[in-house]
Amino acid sequence: MRDSDVREVRFRYLAEVEKGRLARIDPSIGGSKAPYLTMDYLRGERIEPTLVVVDPDAVTASEKSLILLWDGANAGEFLTGKHGVVASTSALVTPIDVDARFLFWTCKAQEWLLQAETIGMGIPHVNGEVLANLRLSVPPSNMQSAIADYLDQKTSGLDSLVATKELVRNLLAEKRQAIITRAVTCGLDSRTAFRDSGAPWLGAIPKNWRTERAAWLFRERDERGEPDLPLLEVSIKDGVVAREFSQERIETTAADFNTYKIARQGDVVFNKMRMWQGAAGIAPRDGLVSPDYVVAAVTGELSPAYVGLLIRTGAFSAECARRSHGIVWDRLRLYWGGFREIQLPVPPSDIQQEIVNHVAHATARLDALAIALERTILLLKERRAALISEAVSGRLDVDRAA
């Protein structure tokens, strides 16, 4: 196939997009039910889907349909769909006069651009105008199926390698989390006596530890008016980190920075909508965070370093989920009022420091291995992306390469 055979066509002429809607998950509600097509279910990270009521206005998808993640940290990613109800954070993409499997691959080739142009200061979402004008490579119809077949075969081998590396990485992460959870909730001395903490999520704790409601250990900070502070954000993966913007995007949003909350170094910051997934951490420096976040200042009995380990454990996230409110599970919110009621362990201050030091030492080798795995995974994904781009653009002759 020659390069001249490939046309560039705007997305708006190749597909129609229909955004998903909120779904009802109450098991007491009658009517037909179907899987809720969340990101983790579509990716295979969740085996058993949540069943929701198929309302008359629900957006439904079939096997091998095309789904676009519309809202959230992964906004702009295209996924292969399954039978079910499209989640409110996603959209159903229906091809127009183009091979459906090829549309998936040519969209994947331009995914990076769509993700780079997301909008929204709190929760990013797809820029509809950028999507509509996205220029996609489209070869003659008789080549579209051949390209899709080739990419299905070649990417599956790369995907298997990535999956193997990711499994090892996840096992390292589980081991790391187990080390942290045991240390922050049980201490380091295996000979110590334990007592019931009185908090079901916490279980037994060392006898010389106390428990206190978060209300006595933190105070809510709602300060504003320092627009020159650096921007911070909360991620599920990394906790609180510096937020990066292009200069153009900073200039277009600078007028809003006076409304942003101030987080001081050592403060707890969490995303109300994602606290149940671990979207929390400690501010590494003074900075600005979204007005939708909760900022809590540590009042003295707990060290920020110890708190930072505790609030990112799975057990604590589960307790946050229990105290969150929302109509559907992917819209749960934990407000200050719920956070302040959580019972937390309070080890003696010297024990807190010992725990922090122990965790740093015990996880150092695991972190080094994880970094090496991430590099390998990144190289494999780069190879996959290059292969897709070459195939859909016509630079790679799939008949000869097959």
- The domain limits of the chain are 3-138, 146-181+354-402, 188-346
What does pLDDT average to in each consecutive run of 10 residues of the chain (402 residues)? 74 95 72 86 85 88 94 92 93 94 94 91 88 92 91 94 95 96 95 94 96 96 92 92 63 67 96 91 95 92 96 94 80 91 96 97 96 97 94 86 70
Structural class in CATH, domain 188-346: alpha beta
Predicted pLDDT of residue 54: 87
* pLDDT at residue 251 in the model: 44
Distance, in Å, from the CA atom of 323 to the CA atom of 402, rounded to the nearest integer, reads 54
Concatenated DSSP letters of 76-119: T-EEE--SEEEPTTEEEEEESSS-HHHHHHHHHHTHHHHHHT-B
Rounded CA gap, 6 and 395, in Å?
10
Q: Are 296 and 219 in contact (CB under 8 A)?
A: yes
Sheet holding 78-80, edge to edge: 15-19, 90-95, 66-69, 78-80
Kindly give, in sequence order, each residue whose CB lies less than 8 Å from that of residue 376, ignoring residues fewer than 6 positions away: 165
Dist. CA 56–CA 1, nearest whole Å: 45
Whole-Å CA distances, 314 to 178, 239, 277, 359? 9, 14, 8, 16
What was the pLDDT predicted at 252?
Answer: 46
The pLDDT assigned to 79 comes to 95
Q: Per the CATH hierarchy, to which homologous superfamily does domain 3-138 belong?
A: DNA methylase specificity domains (3.90.220.20)
pLDDT at position 248 is 46
Give the separation between CA 346 and CA 111, rounded to whole angstroms: 46
- The CA distance from 23 to 299, in Å, is 40
- pLDDT for the residue numbered 23: 82
Give the pLDDT confidence score for residue 18 in this predicted structure: 95
Decide if 115 contacts 124 (C-beta within 8 A). no
Domains 3-138 and 188-346 share a fold: yes
Q: What is the pLDDT of residue 330?
A: 65
With a CB cutoff of 8 Å and minimum separation 6, the contacts of 307 are: 268, 282, 298
